[in-house]
Structure 1
Amino acid sequence: MTPSGLREKIIVERAAWIRKMIGGIQALPLDSMESFLSDPRNAASAESYLRRALEALMDLGRHILAKGFGKAVTEYKEIPGELHREGVLHSTDARLMRELAGYRNRMVHFYDEVTTVEIYHICHDQLSDVERILAVILKWINSNPKLLDRSL
């Protein structure tokens, strides 16, 4: 695989999607577990928003690896390590992103084991982790404008 430039359009779309999903989670009653659990639709909505935000975050990382470095990565949990090796993420952020990839994988492959209480805690306590990784990735992209392909 040959590097061909990061597609600005894809980066903007993924970042906007992640922010939209985060906004959806923030609109839910996360002030207390009691209010969150009072309606089962809250957990279902939160899980959907969270999964889609995490998938978009991982897809953004995969795009950087493929188009910026010519690396094909198939597993979400491999993306953070490769981003670290390429200097996009520091080791602490790579570990955090790997943990987020693990949440996504559990929601998809072990959905019957993910409890509504766990979904609440992730959304209440760790949503800022998603925002942090997005900010770190976007900062790296902005610091490397020569890698951007601005064509439509």
Structure 2
Amino acid sequence: MVSQMPEIDTALVNRRLAEIKLLADELKEILDMGLEKFLSDSYVRDAAKYKLLVAIEAAISICNHIAVRVAKEVPGSYSECFIILGRSGVISEELAKKLAEMAKFRNMLVHVYWKIDDRKVYEIIGRDLSDLDRFIDEVRAYLGQG
């Protein structure tokens, strides 16, 4: 008997997408405070890092869920997961590469947090936050919701 892979749990994916959207909006508010406030306030910096980490985790959760069901592959790493989605046409390959780099940055936030340059965090949020918005749009489009 051939076992069939479960379908995409759109309710789960939509909850995670909403979480990413909320966190991205909150990160935009932190950016609007400016670099000086960001660097001078440890609570703002810590909040930004945590929100970025959780947003990336939510994207990874979606990625793993879809990769197993659509590509029928179990990713060997968080960054590989996005590459799989790109290769499978769930998201663009260009976006997949950017999100793979974001997943690597997530690993740095978790495992070598003491080496993270706060200016770099602010720069990454300013430069790469739109990639999370694109991820939301492209996943929704793939699911026929956008």
Q: TM-score, normalised by structure 1?
A: 0.85
- The residue correspondences of 1:71-86 to structure 2 (distance < 5 A) are 71-86=73-88
Residues 53-103 of structure 1: CA distance to partner in whole angstroms, max 9, x if unpaired? Answer: 001011101111123343222420110111122121222111111111111
Q: Matches of 1:34 and 1:52 in 2, distance apart?
A: 24
**Maintained 8 Å contact 2:16/2:62:** yes
- Equivalent pairs, count: 143
**Structure 2: 5+ residue stretches without partners:** none
Are residue 12 (structure 1) and residue 14 (structure 2) matched?
yes
Other-structure match for 1:117: 119
| Bigger relative contact order, structure 1 or 2 (CA pairs below 8 A, ≥6 apart) | 1
Q: Matches of 1:3 and 1:104 in 2, distance apart?
A: 29
**Structure 1: 5+ residue stretches without partners:** 144-152
Spell out structure 1 runs of 4+ moving beyond 3 A: none
- Tell me the percent identity: 24
Deviates more, 1:40-49 or 1:22-31: 22-31
Other-structure match for 1:27: 29
Other-structure match for 1:148: none
Letter in 1 for 2:104: G
Partner secondary structure for residue 124 of structure 2: helix
Other-structure match for 1:41: 43
Are residue 97 (structure 1) and residue 111 (structure 2) matched?
no
**Maintained 8 Å contact 2:71/2:84:** no
> How far off is 1:111 after superposition?
0.9
